[in-house]
Structure 1
């Protein structure tokens, strides 16, 4: 039995609504997609009409997820669904640390009421009508499981599959400090429902394309260590994507290689995007709080995993700003670092 205190109003909203719109953040990772699909599966199991929306097509890295083809990117279809539902509707945002993370159509979602937010980011910025935000949960997937249990629903095989992907990817295969006994308990129950951990691990981690490996080679060649090898920094440019033939999604997880160096406390991955925005992924070991670093630059996340963006800047400039901030924190540790 879980000791998580889910706001009763959220359970009430989900029970009462006949139509549900479910969405997650832009550039969705395994937790976002797995949570979205599992929530959709649970709601349909409860007899509700559900519109599951993504801001962009699902990454090829996760197209093995069950029912992933049912996810829609059509905002006009969404509006029709909302209009037909009338007042018998609710919206649910999963794994979104702030409203902007829902993407370019966030205003369409925020007009739906009641609006429920379920998230586990330490740096969460409140939005929506009703919120369950718990940074102690390993993943949003874990939170969706708790909601399912509180509503008396047993995940279907597809739902369990999606939840396991969500939890496994957001805990780094159960390696990050957010992984607790309840995480393993839930994972065990998902296995009891038919999930095969070996099969899922193959789908998640053994699905590299030659283009992805080419890109990885180019990115790892940029590795720079500083501050007595406590900081590792890598970067990727648009030219690297073009030369390798890889897609933007193929860079997912590269920061973990920089983090894996024995002496490294903080890993930085600076990415040049086609949108002229430089994005930064941060990973840490132990007590160092990269969410506090990301927050200085308008980003956020978790203690050991966070990110931020820099519009109209250069890789060199961004790298210098971020690493300088990390060095300051390492040299003069605050209570949270």
Structure 2
């Protein structure tokens, strides 16, 4: 575990810009807020770049400095939970122009694009890596920092269910839970609480569920017309693919849903030995071995056939 160069870069920075991948999830937002708290504890100026608040994680943003854009050029840019610079959509220009760039991540598809790279592919989450940084720096844990890190640990492990969960993950969670915040209520909010719109979308997805191979590989779709008619937001789509993955007998699930006209998101989940990170990287995406995604262009029928044909290759490989 080596953070020496990254710590030196943070200590010598005049202002730190912090961001993560587009459409940030709990691990990405948790890591950004935690890094912001670390900067504050070290007496460093920082700005978290976030395209828009995610309603589910707004509680993390109450105590940090965040903005949609920068008012000054980036001095030191820290990219978190982001496999490649192109996934810093909207903020990649700031990153490329920064004097120093730092890349901290746990995705297997990370391209090591920073001046300094700390990528632990075996880590459960980027927040677990930031927790390690907290321990190395010996900065005091506060409630805001603990909640941010706990959010990332819980969400990226699926509530400590995924096989990326290690003893170190539970030990980190235990130390965070020693602080005075309601961890059980937060856990329920992150894992179990769903909007009514999400429940409706789950039902629609199930109605379109189809087997690709011998009751093992499955695919579900949601059309733009269905999504618009539902009145749901893009945040309501969160968790649908994981819900589908919980169906008995499903080893691989691909969920295709709209991002816009002739623009679709592919989200995939799998059990070993399948590798959906490699699958999605061949479609211009990436992620984890058992949880990955990509953005595809074309009609829903065309995109669906493209994914189905490629899924059949998983069997042969």
Unaligned runs of at least 5 residues, structure 2: none
After superposition, the Cα gap between the structure-2 partners of 1:181 and 1:66, relative to the gap in structure 1 and judged at 3 Å, is: same
**Aligned Cα root-mean-square deviation (Å):** 1.7
Give the distance between the partners of 2:195 and 2:247, measured in 1 at CA.
24
Mapping of residues 1-337 of structure 1, within 5 Å: 5-54=1-50, 56-67=51-62, 70-73=65-68, 75=69, 78-80=70-72, 82=73, 89-274=75-260, 276-311=262-297, 313-330=298-315, 332-333=316-317
CA distance in 2, matches of 1:52, 1:275: 30
Q: TM-score under structure 1 normalisation?
A: 0.89
Where do 5+ consecutive residues of structure 1 fail to align? 84-88
* Equivalent residue pairs, number: 317
Quick check: 2:17–2:77 contact (8 Å CA) kept in 1? yes
Deviations 1:85-111 (A, max 9, x none): xxxx41101001000111123112221
Instruction: Encode CA deviations 1:5-60: one digit per residue, 9 max, x unaligned.
Output: 12421111112223211111110000000111111011111111111111x21221
SS of 1:64 mapped into structure 2 = helix
Q: Is the Cα contact below 8 Å between 2:3 and 2:133 reproduced in 1?
A: no
The aligned counterpart of 1:86 is none
Which stretch of structure 1 is more off in the superposition, 232-241 or 28-37? 232-241
**Cα distance in structure 2, aligned partners of 1:181 and 1:139:** 13
Distance in structure 1 (CA, Å) of the matches to 2:62 and 2:214: 47
1:16–1:304 distance in 2 versus 1, CA, 3 Å: same
For the Cα contact (< 8 Å) 2:46–2:65, is it kept in 1?
A: no
How many angstroms apart in 2 are the aligned matches of 1:213 and 1:136?
Answer: 32
* Helix, strand or coil at the partner of 1:67: helix
Moved over 4 A (4+): none
